[in-house]
Structure 1
Amino acid sequence: MLPHLCARSIQARFTLVAGIISLLAFMIIGGGADLGVRNRVENTIFKETEGVATEWIGSLQSSSASPATIRTGRSRIDLIQLVDDQGKIVAASPAAARRPRLSAVQPPVHDRIDHRTECTTRDGCVVLTAVRVPPLETQVLWQGQPHYMYAGMAQPPLLASNMLELLTGSAILAAAALAAWATWWVVGRTLRPVAMIRAKTAEITVSDLSMRVPEPPGCDEIAQLARTSNKTLARLEAAVEQQRQFASVVSHELRSPVAGLHTQLEEALLYPTDVDPMKTITTALSTTERLQAIIDDLLVLARIRSAPPATPEPIDLGALITEEVATRVHGTPVRTHTTGHVTVLGNKIQLIGVLNNLLVNAQRHADTSVEVTTTRTSDHAVITVTDDGPGIAPHDRERVFEPFIRLEDGRRRDPGGSGLGLAISRAVITAHHGTIEIEDSPRGARFVIRLPLIPETARGGAGTP
């Protein structure tokens, strides 16, 4: 079945609903128009018949009304009869002379005019007005004997047949069909970009995420959907590419120790008399410990990137730094300069991990001391970790945050490191909506962390964010 004819098609459903509503609306309008036309035609005829009847009655004052024939002139009201109270036709127009009495109704004295439509099997329907001759004329002309004047005409074909209903019904169906077609065309034209987006989306696969859906012009909802979809595809492409690069780097970093471990164990099996088993076991144990450290760091990094964020809590960075520095009794001395009440929302365990990693790196590369400071700007808390070591070259300041990237000095000072510490630190700070960068320093490396401050309204409470 074609998509636009599917039962779930928006175009078909909108067209069906619009057609039904239009049909009902036009039926009401058409019924009212039909009734209005009928009433207008009948009222026009009644007005003419009443005028003819009263005019002829007025002429009786100067006429004996003895002629049997009434002249109608050029009026279309050609059926006129004067009838006494016994039903005898006293006078009639030429068209009504051959007809029987037009109506049997005899209006009373207090309501002398009556409009009605009389129908017979032989002569059809007549639209007429029955008028009772006033008492004065009746007394003068017929000694008080009541007489009645009937004036009318044959019912017009528009009223006598179903022509008006057929025309109205045809107009209603045509208008409803036109409304349904217009709805079909407008909805189809509106949804055409959606069909193009759907077709292009069906072509996008994991192996090729570079394709983008077409973006229609304008700022309507469909255009916004297309732009949002393209932004999502761009983010997805970047994430997949990052995962591929990460998997490649991980496989490369794990291949070397695994290959070395395999070689040592194979050599011990092939040459049992020439290889010291204790030395082999010790080396293998060291290798597995390094593998275990790399795997643990990878799990931490993956958890930070993919796991839903934990409920944040208010953290006083000054107190946190003071507590952590106090535990570092060995290695290069660490000096602190903190500002009170620098409070952020975050995960305390993760922020402690970041601080420890930066302090370990700084103590490892420092010559004489490490300095940690906390300050605040209008909306951010700033943590600075500075050492007086050799520093990091400007072209390496971004590379060191990539997984498994280790500079030559770092490999020399810490041969067993995994190269994931700074990558994990950046992932943690990013998850806290902050930034971590390496900035210029007169001597050594200067790591700067910026975290959004807790809002004043939350910090002013009882410690609950």
Structure 2
Amino acid sequence: MVALALGVASVGLLGLLENNLTRNAQTDAERQAVLIAGLAAEGRLDTVLTPDRGTDFLQVVDAHGRVLAASPNLKGRPAVSTARPSAPGTVRDTWNGRPVREEHRQRVVQVTTATGIGLVTVYAGTSLREADAADEFIRAALIFAVPLLVLTVALVTWRVTGWALRPVEAIRAEVAEISDRDLHRRVPVPPSQDEIARLAATMNTTLDRLEASVTRQRQFIADASHELRSPITVLRTQLEVAQAHPDPSLWGELVSGALEDTVRLQDLASDLLLLARLDTAQAPPSSTVDLTEVVREAARARKGDPVPVDTEIAPDIAVRGSALWLARLVTNLLDNAQRHANQRILLSLSVDEVGNTAVLEVSDDGPGIPPADRERVFERFTRLDDARSRDQGGSGLGLAIARDIATHLGGSLTIQDSAPGAHLVARLPLKET
């Protein structure tokens, strides 16, 4: 591209120089030709013409080709051109080596005018030796300068590009060596504070997210395996006892226990499947859901719970999402409150006009959640009270699923200060009208 640009610029420079020098030479010759043509028209033409500075030769020829006047260097010579103009006018042309023995080109101006003896043509010529010399010099200079300049630009570009891309190569080499067991490694960030530095920082941020995702996935697999192992072990034990003691009087208790563990396994598998779907979902559901009806239906389903659920539900609140996901969100919050409440649970739904969000709140009068644990309770398989049995404490997935649903629908789930008890607040964007 540099060579092409320099080539075009060189041609343009030569053309501009040629036109400028030719125009300057032509101006002098044309001025004297017009002057002599005026003398011929007035009948005051001398037979010997003296060229002014900038003009090499002069000649005046009548319509029959007879030479009426000429400069000393054309004395006795025939007309410089055999062409006979038929009307007054001015013609400009470039001749090579004629009529004067000149090794350079000549710019000739031909002026035809009417006189008392008919049409008379004045030829005034000037040498283009300065233009030819300048062309030769510039052309010779460009022949050597352009390749040298192109070579210099290529060398500098190669060195500068290599130097500039050296951090990119370092980044590439480091990324190529990072495997799934080396996600703690990071690419070097150059101190240049330019685009490459920002690329390296972005790459490290991506590696941070990837490492966190892989760590979370491995922890999830380990926790899920641990959670599944307990009910499977209990279920196997019950079946082995039933097989070892084929006493019909024990079967009812054993079958009841096996059924309870099977239900627990089924619930845990459903939770794990929902979490997997939330982790892999590309876009949140966009259908319109009547959140008021979803919350009311969830509250009606809790009529037989040990702790009664009081409700304060505002009407006609619609959001975008999935009715199934939103019902699961409300159910998980109520299940968590039932496990910890003493005498009362409050379920409320309202609208925050300032934030344009639906506000779903579930509070209980239980022991509450310490401030230091208010983020940890949303981690998967987290139980704050390890002394509690798994039947009382649940699987540790309820709040994690609830927050994932709220986040995936563009909202949030947080724990606010409340004494006594716990106060969970979910905010969901309202449907745009």
TM range (shorter): 0.7 to 0.9
Residue 44 (structure 2) pairs with residue 44 (structure 1):
no
Are residues 171 and 288 of structure 1, via their aligned partners in 2, closer, same or farther at CA, if it must alter by over 3 Å?
Answer: same
AA of the residue aligned to 1:349: L
- Other-structure match for 1:428: 405
Paired amino acid for 1:251: S
User: Structure 2 vs 1, CA of residues 295 and 121 (structure 1 numbering), >3 Å: closer, same or farther?
Assistant: same
- Hey, what's the Cα distance between the residues in 2 that align with 1:162 and 1:336? 97
1:126/1:153 contact within 8 Å kept: yes
User: Is the deviation greater in 329-338 or in 25-34?
Assistant: 25-34
Aligned with 1:362 (options 325, 330, 337): 337
Cα shift readout 1:307-359 (whole Å, capped 9, x = no counterpart): 24453344444433333222333222222122233333222222222222332
Cα displacement (A) at 1:40: 0.7
Measured after TM superposition, the shift of residue 302 of structure 1 is 1.4
Correspondent of 2:321 among 346, 350, 353: 346
Q: 1:335 to 1:74 in 2, by over 3 A?
A: closer
What amino acid maps onto 2:74 in structure 1? A
1:173-229 Cα offsets, whole Å, 9 max, x none, are 679959986996799499747666555544444333341464786687x77666554
Quickly say closer, same or farther: Cα 1:215–1:345, change in 2 above 3 A. farther
**Residue identity matched to 2:336:** N
Count, aligned residues: 420
Matched, 1:152 2:146: no
Matched, 1:417 2:394: yes
Q: In the alignment, which residue of structure 2 is the partner of 1:335?
A: 310
State the alpha-carbon separation in 1 of the partners of residues 389 and 89 from structure 2: 126
Identity of aligned residues (%): 35
Q: 2:383 aligns with which of 406, 421, 428?
A: 406
Q: How does 1:277-288 map to 2 (within 5 A)?
A: 282=255, 287=261
Task: Report the equivalent of 1:325.
Answer: 299
TM-score, with structure 1 as normaliser: 0.68
After the TM superposition, which of the residue ranges 111-120 and 324-333 deviates more from structure 2? 111-120
Give how far 1:288 is off. 5.1
User: 2:222 matched to which residue of 1?
Assistant: 248
Alpha-carbon RMSD across the aligned residues, in angstroms, is 5.0
5+ long unaligned stretches in structure 1 = 1-14, 137-143, 459-465
> 1:295 and 1:276 mapped to 2: Cα distance?
30
CA distance in 2, matches of 1:316, 1:225: 44
Deviation at 1:51, TM superposition (A): 6.4
- Say which SS state the counterpart of residue 388 (structure 2) adopts: helix
- Aligned partner of 1:139 in structure 2 is none
TM-score, normalised to structure 2, is: 0.72
Out of 264, 273, 276, which is 2:245 matched to? 276
Task: Evaluate the alpha carbon distance shift between residue 75 and residue 353 of structure 1 in structure 2; reply closer, same or farther with a 3 A threshold.
Answer: closer
Q: 1:451 to 1:86 in 2, by over 3 A?
A: closer
| Paired residues for 1:48-447 under 5 Å | 49-50=32-33, 53=36, 61=44, 65=47, 70=48, 72=50, 75=53, 77-81=55-59, 93-97=71-75, 101-106=79-84, 111=88, 115-117=92-94, 123=101, 127-129=107-109, 135=115, 150-153=123-126, 156=129, 158=131, 163=136, 166=139, 170=143, 177=150, 188=161, 192=165, 198-210=172-184, 211-212=186-187, 214=189, 228-258=202-232, 275-276=244-245, 282=255, 287=261, 289-309=263-283, 311-330=285-304, 331-378=306-353, 379=355, 380-408=357-385, 411-412=388-389, 414=391, 417-447=394-424
